[in-house]
Amino acid sequence: MRSRRASLAAAALAAVSPLCTLGCQARSAEREPGAEPSSVTQSAEALRAPSRGDSPDAPFQPAALCRVDHGGMFLDLGTDASHARRSFALGPFSDVASDTWSDQSYTRVSSADVSYDFWLTEPRSDLEVRVRAKAGASGTLAASIDQTRLGSARVKSEGFTTLVFPRPKGPLAPGRHQLALRWSGRSAGDRRPLGMIEWIHWAEPGQRAAEYRPPRQRSLRDDMVIGGVPRRSIVLEAPGRLGCPVRLTRDATLELGVGYHGDGSAIARVIARRDGAPPLVLAERRVGGKAEDAWIDLSLNLAPLGHQLAQIELEASGETASGPGRVAFSEPRLVTPAAPEPAPRAKLVVLVVASGLHRELLPPFEGTRRLRRITALAAESARFPEYRAPTTVVGAVMGTLLSGLPPLAHGLESTKLRLARGVLTLGDRIRETSGESAFFTGVPSTRAAFGFDHGWNTFEEFSPVNDVAASAPLERAKTWLERAIEHDREQDPVSRLLVVHVRGGHPPWDLSRDEVAELEPREYMGLLEARRGGLILNTIRNHSRPAQRRLTPPDWVRLKALQLAALEKQDAALGALIELLERERLWNDTLFVFAGDVTMGEPPEAPFGAARPLTEDRLLAPLWVKFPGGGFAGSEVLGPVSSVDVADTVAAALGIALPDELGGVDLYQLATGTGPVLSRGLLATLGQEYSMRYGPWLLRGTSPRAPTLCELGVDPACVHDVFAASPLAAETLWRMTFEAHRHARLLESTGNAKAEPALLDKDTAAALQVWGD
């Protein structure tokens, strides 16, 4: 089986070392040093994001998700990971820049005011702010917490010195706080940076500034030899702590070793923290540096923690520590009871994407419906109810489905852009393996004008303006398949990818006046029409008065009837395509994917429309996968799924190698229950707007304003903002958002695939107008 990179959320746990920490309760057991676990392991090295070299500063290594403490909270400004603390700005940042000189790393500050967030899990009244800084063009640095001034200090220019500011008056409550730094005293005409900062420390009592040894990123990993056995380790000096957020998807154990290097001894702990619950000590061992001391291997059962969000901390306790040594936590890894199964290969992959489909129009539903073939397809497929589109721009969703790149990477976050030639689609990649591909579209957003024509052996587009049935792309796809099958009878078969983008439930609806007259409600006197539906709904959505942007109850009844009647015709064409595969005995060996792009949205606002807000009713789209061999037919597969995963699944079935850094998951592994052990966060973006879904948690916002947080399990309508009341969830989802955003931007910069302005021909402009965009 090919090696696949885990998602950003999973890889985050190896931020500064080979750590794959996972949540946990209860029993811990010792085993013999060096003993191999009997079940399958996912080591942290396998889960870690790919990097150039093995440096903590590797560009795809999401150190922003983990938190380092040493005698109090610590922030290393020598890496770009510190940008995640810049309030709620997603960047890029022009006022600060990370730099390295010799063995020093720091941030150059070019703005008079910079601020960094810090989060407390309990009230504190004794924190002392320390800043390791060097003067540039400015020689004075002032600090304040939550707009309360702490004081100012002179900064030397000869070298880095530690500045100590007075403690804040009064306690600081749990949750998010902001440390603001202000440079002053700049000399006129001096163009140097105002100053440089190595790190910030929110010191706890008892930590003398002159003796403080900071836990810089480069010092947290090391090869430690204890009892004559070398191991790759996370190394902490007491009192120190490294914490990473985790949420399990299935039963697992955390296995690691603990030891001590140097003179003296200390206490090594593994702790779980959760919002609203006391800290839970999972393991506690005294470790010493005697020559006869060896690694103590631990196996921590994580099943009792369930699917809760937790922060797992590796702690070197300072309460009983003695001597100058360090605590080592070696080779943390997840152990799971089941090994991944090889995904079945397919000579043919069919990807059908339907536009504007609401999931209630499709199976499973109560009663009988006329969509006979779609119902049969659902019975033979696995359904993924947590599939989430990465944006509300249809072209961007299709760009991700066809390339595996998130919208921020391929750049189609506007309806006025076209896919760059430099973006390799699945059509490009299958041609590299001597396979063939075809793309048939009846949706204006994926026409040639938007760059979707390159890379395919066959490409055809069908305009809703012309007198062409909505089922035409499916009918042409069937003709293409018939020719391909005939070709394979005479020559050696080749792998093939067929992509069809149909109108689905989106207007205009392919219905005659007589057909419309038979629809409910029979005495309908509203505005909706079959052929002009897109134009009418666009007018309603853009009405100057918000109260007039809604449909009436009879309008919604008619809308649903129009969609079902139009879907019935597309259902028949889909059935003809599937019957061809069955007749030619290809169906069993075909990977068949049926998905939605962007859904219509929920009442009361008028549905459809391009680039609408990132709400769950528009992002949660239908997804069914009929695997080769018919595995998991009729099942429901839970777990977060993105369009990147769909692209990965298609590529895996065809034997195409997508770059590991895309981070997709083969949905076959999710269906077998051997997918990622760590729950993944799914990011949707639209310009500066973002929406991060992580299990039951939903974080929404627009950079740089503060976001809102809700727990959908107890608040499905997302009415109550619990951002302040749930500091662990709030901090975790924000950091996930920041890191996923940064990772996507890195993919864009390394891929050399910048989206280009679309030049619309008359037919495409007319198609978009009739479509209602």
Instruction: Evaluate whether 333 touches 369 at the Cβ level (below 8 Å).
Output: no
Give the Cα-Cα-Cα angle 576, 425, 462 (nearest 5 degrees): 45
Say if 154 falls within a structural domain: yes
- Kindly state whether residues 516 and 461 are assigned to the same domain: yes
Task: Tell me the two tokens of residue 78.
Answer: 């020598």
Can you give the pLDDT at residue 119?
86
- Segments of the chain with pLDDT less than 70: 1-64, 102-103, 217-218, 318-323, 365-369, 749-753
DSSP run (H or E) holding 548? none
Task: Tell me the two tokens of residue 569.
Answer: 């015709």
In whole angstroms, give the CA distance from residue 626 to residue 428: 24
Q: Let me know how long the chain is.
A: 773
Q: Which residue has the tokens 């000189």?
A: 101
**Cβ contacts of 45-49, under 8 Å, gap ≥ 24:** 45/14, 45/18, 46/3, 46/6, 47/6, 47/10, 47/11, 47/13, 47/14, 47/20, 47/334, 47/678, 48/11, 48/14, 48/18, 48/20, 49/5, 49/8, 49/11, 49/14, 49/661, 49/663, 49/743
Residue 445 carries which DSSP code?
Answer: G
What's the pLDDT tens digit per position in 245-274?
888 888 888 999 999 998 889 999 999 888
Instruction: Evaluate whether 73 touches 118 at the Cβ level (below 8 Å).
Output: yes
The per-residue DSSP string of 399-431 comes to HHHHH---HHHH---STTEE--TTSPPHHHHHH
- Kindly state whether residues 608 and 738 are assigned to the same domain: yes
**Sequence letter at residue 45:** E
Classify residue 539 by burial, with Cβ atoms within 10 Å: 0-12, 13-18, 19+: middle
The CATH number for 698's domain is: 3.40.720.10
- Kindly state whether residues 202 and 53 are assigned to the same domain: no
Give the Cα-Cα-Cα angle 637, 643, 649 (nearest 5 degrees): 65
**Cα radius of gyration (the chain):** 28
What's the pLDDT tens digit per position in 686-726?
999 999 999 999 999 999 999 999 999 999 999 999 999 89
In whole angstroms, give the CA distance from residue 471 to residue 474: 5
- Kindly state whether residues 202 and 248 are assigned to the same domain: no
- Local structure of 280: helix, strand or coil: strand
In the chain, the largest separation of any two C-alpha atoms, in whole Å, equals 91
Classify residue 91 by burial, with Cβ atoms within 10 Å: 0-12, 13-18, 19+: middle
Q: Please identify, among 336, 364, 394, the residue that sits at the C-terminal boundary of a domain.
A: 336
Q: What is the crossing angle of helices 394-403 and 643-654, to 10°?
A: 30
In whole angstroms, give the CA distance from residue 207 to residue 7: 38
Say if 252 falls within a structural domain: yes
- Kindly state whether residues 668 and 730 are assigned to the same domain: yes
Say if 341 falls within a structural domain: no
Q: Please identify, among 281, 311, 336, the residue that sits at the C-terminal boundary of a domain.
A: 336
- Kindly state whether residues 184 and 239 are assigned to the same domain: no
The CATH number for 100's domain is: 2.60.120.260
Task: Tell me the two tokens of residue 200.
Answer: 């910030």
Say if 1 falls within a structural domain: no
- Kindly state whether residues 676 and 576 are assigned to the same domain: yes
- Domain range for 33: 8-57+216-336
In whole angstroms, give the CA distance from residue 694 to residue 247: 9
Can you give the pLDDT at residue 381?
97
**Sequence letter at residue 467:** D
**Sequence letter at residue 329:** F
In whole angstroms, give the CA distance from residue 621 to residue 639: 14
Can you give the pLDDT at residue 752?
61
Q: Please identify, among 336, 366, 388, the residue that sits at the C-terminal boundary of a domain.
A: 336
- Kindly state whether residues 298 and 159 are assigned to the same domain: no
- Kindly state whether residues 455 and 358 are assigned to the same domain: yes
Task: Tell me the two tokens of residue 100.
Answer: 């390295």
Task: Tell me the two tokens of residue 678.
Answer: 């760590």
Can you give the pLDDT at residue 586?
96
Q: What is the b/e burial string over 106-143, where b = at least 16 CB atoms within 10 angstroms of the residue's CB?
A: bbbbbeeebebbbbbbeebeebbbbbbbbbbbbbbbbb
- Kindly state whether residues 483 and 611 are assigned to the same domain: yes
Say if 2 falls within a structural domain: no
Classify residue 276 by burial, with Cβ atoms within 10 Å: 0-12, 13-18, 19+: exposed
Can you give the pLDDT at residue 45?
32
Q: Measured in whole angstroms, how far is the alpha carbon of residue 488 from the centre of its chain?
A: 40
In whole angstroms, give the CA distance from residue 589 to residue 406: 29
- Kindly state whether residues 492 and 616 are assigned to the same domain: yes
Q: How many structural domains compose the chain?
A: 3
Can you give the pLDDT at residue 645?
97
Classify residue 408 by burial, with Cβ atoms within 10 Å: 0-12, 13-18, 19+: buried
Residue 111 carries which DSSP code?
Answer: S
The CATH number for 270's domain is: 2.60.120
- Kindly state whether residues 156 and 117 are assigned to the same domain: yes
Task: Tell me the two tokens of residue 438.
Answer: 């075809």
